Amino acid sequence: MKIIKKFNKSLIAGCVTVVLVVSGCNSHQGLQQQALPEIAPTFSKDILLKNHFAENFKIGTAISKAQVLNSADPELRLAAEHFNTFTPENSMKWESVNPLPNEYQFDVADALVNFAKNNNQQLVGHTLVWHSQTPDWVFEDDAGNPLNRAQLLKVMEIHIKTVAGRYAEQIFAWDVVNEALNEDGSLRESKWQQIIGDDFIEQAFIYAHQAAPNAKLYYNDYNMFKPEKRAGAIKLIKRLKQKGIQIDGVGMQAHYSLDYPDFNEVEDSIVAFAATGVDVMVTELDISVLPFPENLAEGADVSLDVALQQQYNPYTEGLPIEIEQQLASRYQNLFAIYKKHSESIGRVTFWGVSDKQTWRNGWPMKGRTDYPLLIDRDMKLKGFVNSL
Ligand code: XIL
């Protein structure tokens, strides 16, 4: 705790200079940008994130459908330069690849697989079994009646074998099960859990291993720093291991804000997860700078959709320097922890390429202007990146 606080203070002072210097450069870079051909990268090549963190961990981002369908998209090109691992933001979720019974749509997922291959990016599949972004038909028969355990297991098996099997040689790792835990560490009463029982998780990992025997298999969730949820995840990991079921890693989503969470708890979870013998992945990192209505900053429940209130959207005209400094300080503290434990952390993936297209502009309230990533709206690295 003490060490982190001290580190924080000294870096805040350093960061003021860095931020000022970089914002002074912006207009110059802006002029350069105009002269470049349309699809040329618009960023400085001085720092590439993947080189900056090469000694520590792989560094990744989520790629959207819009980006992957336009190979000239500047954000896709920027992502290809800066990151050495990609995760599809939505395009491998159940509703995207298997929207209707017996109907698979792989065009976007295939395009991403090909792009990643051609650019030497490691691809992480996201996600096979989740309660969100999964169509209702999955849990029902043709007449709309709920499936029984055996029927739903069959649906799960076919889906996992079709999707993970299709990319068995191309996808490095899968988030096999996403968000199966409640905040108190108990199992969420999703339709998966209600119909199949608690062992739907075991079954998903078994099918994933059968479909893609060389892929790493992960359990992924948000709020994994919370002691109760941490304990629930550890119980889960141990349960699978005791049964001899392959589980290689645990994903900590990391949708954070300026004052949430306490990073000491994040560190405690990294240490505790690593002690179970699995790899620790930071799978969906972003730090919102915006104020939140009470309790809404916490977690990443994608079903939240709160009406826009301007008091929660204060930076539409730009980010005040003191807020950027707070963001810098948060990132510095977090990366100090990640680097300290880099032997346990295989990958740090941001959830999005730039502030322009981050999902945070639309969650949990649509229409806000947020600044949660390392790359700004002009597709330039933020000044404090040097200090991470
Ligand atoms: C989000 C996407 O970023 C959004 O575009 C989509 O509308 C909802 O899902 N946890 C996860 C991710 O595991 O898949 C979610 O991604 C964010 C929270």
Is the predicted pLDDT of residue 126 greater than 60, yes or no?
yes
Q: What is the pLDDT of residue 163?
A: 98
What the block records as the tokens of 200 is: 């739907």
pLDDT one-digit tens code per residue, 319-375: 999 999 999 999 999 999 999 999 999 999 999 999 999 999 999 999 999 999 999
Q: Please tell me if the CB atom of residue 96 comes closer than 6 angstroms to any atom of ligand 1.
A: no
pTM: 0.89
Q: What is the set of domains in the chain, with CATH numbers?
A: 11-31+46-387 (3.20.20.80)
Identified catalytic residue from 89, 202, 284, 324: 284
Atom of ligand 1 nearest to the CA of 179: 13
Residue 127: what pLDDT? 98
Residue 280 has what pLDDT?
98
In this predicted structure, the answer to whether residue 53 has a pLDDT above a threshold of 90 is yes
- pLDDT value of position 296: 79
pLDDT of 61 above 50: yes
Residue 284 is among the residues annotated as catalytic for this protein: yes
Q: For ligand 1, atom 16, name the residue with the nearest CA.
A: 89
pLDDT at 11: 36
Distance 338 CA to ligand 1 centre (A): 23
- The pLDDT, as a whole number, for residue 71 is 84
Rounded CA-CA distance 56/169 in Å is 26
Query: Catalytic residue at 179?
Result: yes
**How far, in Å, from the CA of 348 to the mean position of ligand 1?**
17
Q: What pLDDT sits at residue 229?
A: 98
pLDDT value at residue 45: 57
Give the residue, by CA position, lying nearest to ligand 1 atom 8: 302
User: Residues of the chain with pLDDT > 70: what percent?
Assistant: 88
Q: Pick 188 or 298 by higher pLDDT.
A: 188
What is the spatial distance between Cα 274 and Cα 322, in angstroms, rounded to a whole number?
35
β-strand partners of 85: 60, 122
d(CA 283, CA 61): 9
- Judge contact between 188 and 182, C-beta under 8 A: yes
DSSP-derived letter for residue 308 is P
211 or 9: whose pLDDT is higher?
A: 211
Q: What is the pLDDT of residue 298?
A: 80
3-state secondary structure 44-89: CCCCCHHHHCCCCCEEEEEECHHHHCCCCCHHHHHHHHHCCEEEEC
